[in-house]
Amino acid sequence: MDVIIHQTQSIAGHVRVPADKAISHRAALLCALSEGQTELTAWPSGDDCQRTLSLVERLGVVVDRLPGGIRIHGVGLTGLRAPQGELDCGESGTTIRLAAGLLAGQPFVSRLTAAPSLCRRPMRRITEPLTQMGACIESHGSPSPRAQDAELYPPLQITGCRPLHPLRYRMPIASAQVKSAVLLAGLFAEGPVSVAESQPTRDHTERLLRLLGRSVQSHDGDVRLEPSQEALRSPGRLVIPGDPSSAAFLLVAAAVLPGSSLTIQDVGLNPTRIHFLSVLQRMGADITMTVDPTTLQGGAGDDQWEPRGTIRVAASALRGTTVEAHEVPRLIDELPILMVAACAASGTTVFRGASELRIKETDRLHSMTTGLRQMGAQMAASGDAAVTITGAPLRGAAVESFGDHRTAMSLAIAGLLASGQTRIRGAECVGKSFPNFFEVLASLAGPSRVGIF
């Protein structure tokens, strides 16, 4: 699918974005392990979360599809059963990494497969701690699965173990997916499991575990799950907030297009997910956040487990900034669209320590650098670690998505800024996280500004 974007003067409106993808993955897995039924309202339609839902069904969990959501019939901590055949994770890195943690504690063998793009992404970062806990994991995608100095790639064959060993693991690279995989495995450990992270990462897994009755302590970068023989208790109903990473594309558009004003309603405002707003504010963006006070009370029930609310942004003149390496773990999904914001800012913006972008769905450093340069951006990449962008007018061009949803959406926003016409090839990849992105964009910018072919 190709999409044509024409320059526009401004965008305006009130919108909602798809339900938070990161929360949805974790909620599906943990509610499958709980006792009782859980209704998840506003379940996202993107492909990634459907992969996780299919995976839990293949493990013997009944899932009802409802208008606007799903109902998961939890089977308890000991109720999963061995799958018949492979578990296909598609292109979802979150699915394969979190599922590996879950399956490490099961008394059966399972095999996680993936699409070609995901089979190029490294897995040693999760196999290492899970192996230390007692699981046996073989990489059938590595040229030499047993080479000690080789990276490991999907497919992964996991021979689970129960109980797993206690573990204190210091992550060499800050990663919420690795942390979550270890904590999920920790539900089946005979002692405490803790993860030390050098930089804070998103804490949705910890919040959900507490909601379901587990003791999880966080102190000075150390996240500790205490052992328990108690069942996970179903919360009954969860309303998943809108995804702030999806909102970021629309927010940047409103921040950089003169005269724009945009309100995103019912969006997640978890502090570990909205650092990109702080970066935009120090660039001069006019952003206001209003947190729903009922989501700050703590405790179980409906919306009291994740802060949510409204984000409003009005156009303003942006200026360059420096994004340091220690900020990157809190910005990993928003770096591509922040690069577009940098193109619209006066002065120079530097992104340091962005090498993790090279191992996403595609090499996002390459895809964003290629696309923005074709549109006239003044940017330079230094090895794997740094990108420098000096604000300059953009011009329309024919660009590639490289099969990456965040690249496609970022270049679409750049197209609204650019003179002339921008054609984005392979734009169907937005279905991974924001299936109706271009329809929403057309409703804000005007139908003549966005054409789908």
Residues noted as catalytic: 333
The rounded distance, in Å, linking the Cα atoms of 334 and 244 is: 9
Angle at 181 between CA 175 and CA 186, to 5 degrees: 130
At residue 433, what are phi and psi to the nearest 5 degrees? Answer: -135, -25
* CA dist 215 → 91, 211, 225, 394, 441 (Å): 32, 9, 6, 51, 42
Residues 6+ apart with CB under 8 A from 280: 251, 252, 255, 287, 318, 338, 341
What is the residue type of 338?
Answer: L
Q: Which residues is 38 bridged to in the sheet?
A: 72
Element (DSSP H or E) covering residue 112? strand 109-113
Characterise 66 by phi-psi region: left (phi > 0), alpha (psi -120 to 50), beta (else): beta
What is the residue type of 132?
Answer: Q
77's tokens: 């901590």
Residues 6+ apart with CB under 8 A from 200: 174, 221, 272, 329, 330
The rounded distance, in Å, linking the Cα atoms of 447 and 195 is: 48
**Peptide bond connecting 258 to the previous residue in cis, omega within 30 degrees of 0:** no
Reported as half-sphere exposure (CB side, CA atoms, 13 A), residue 269 has a value of 21
The rounded distance, in Å, linking the Cα atoms of 353 and 347 is: 20
Say if CB 128 and CB 98 are below 8 A apart. Answer: no
